[in-house]
């Protein structure tokens, strides 16, 4: 039952009977239905649904933060690299067939300068 419908209750049934009096007797029969609303049950169900939604949101936020922390630690970002310092990270890309081990060198021209970037080949 969803929280939106919690608290509602319907009862249905049949009845029959005989009535006797000095004027004679008669039989009667029919159906009945009754609807009730239990505020406490509805409130409890809505609170439980809210708690589940809050918990799910907190779990998703924690997972997203963990993913962002991981990505922040392995993705190369725009960074100022001062002379004599270095910066590292991971780059994933498709390459032509390579040996199981070795080095890939990239020549990068920035402004008038040429930088050589060397990467170790690690096949998984």
In a domain, 2, yes or no: no
Domain that holds residue 96: 8-122
Say how many domains are in the chain: 1
The structure's pTM equals 0.41
* Domain-embedded: residue 101: yes
Domain membership of residue 1 (yes or no) is: no
In a domain, 60, yes or no: yes
pLDDT in tens, 40-91: 989 999 999 999 999 999 999 999 998 888 877 777 667 777 888 887 777 6
What are 31-40's pLDDT values in tens digits?
Answer: 999 999 999 9
Residue 24, in any domain of the structure: yes
Q: 3 in a domain, yes or no?
A: no
Query: Does 72 map to a domain?
Result: yes
Radius of gyration (C-alpha) of the chain in whole angstroms: 37
At 80 the three-state DSSP class reads: coil
Q: Is residue 56 part of a domain?
A: yes
CA distance 38 to 34: 13
| Of the candidates 97, 103, 96, the residue with the CA atom closest to the CA atom of residue 122 | 103
- Ramachandran assignment for 102, one of left (phi > 0), alpha (psi -120 to 50 degrees), beta (any other): left
3 state SS of 118: strand
């Amino acid at each position: 039952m969803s929280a939106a419908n919690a608290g509602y209750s319907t009862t249905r049934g049949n009845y029959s009977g005989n009535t006797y009096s000095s004027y004679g007797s008669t039989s009667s029969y029919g159906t009945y239905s009754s609807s009730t609303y239990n505020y406490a049950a509805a409130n409890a169900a809505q609170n439980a649904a809210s708690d589940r939604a809050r918990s799910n949101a907190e779990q998703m936020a924690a997972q997203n933060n963990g993913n962002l922390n991981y990505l922040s630690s392995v993705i190369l970002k725009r960074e100022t690299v001062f002379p004599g310092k270095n910066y590292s990270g991971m780059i994933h890309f498709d390459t032509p067939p390579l040996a199981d081990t070795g080095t890939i060198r990239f020549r990068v021209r920035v402004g008038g300068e040429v930088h050589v970037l060397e990467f170790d080949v690690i096949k998984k």
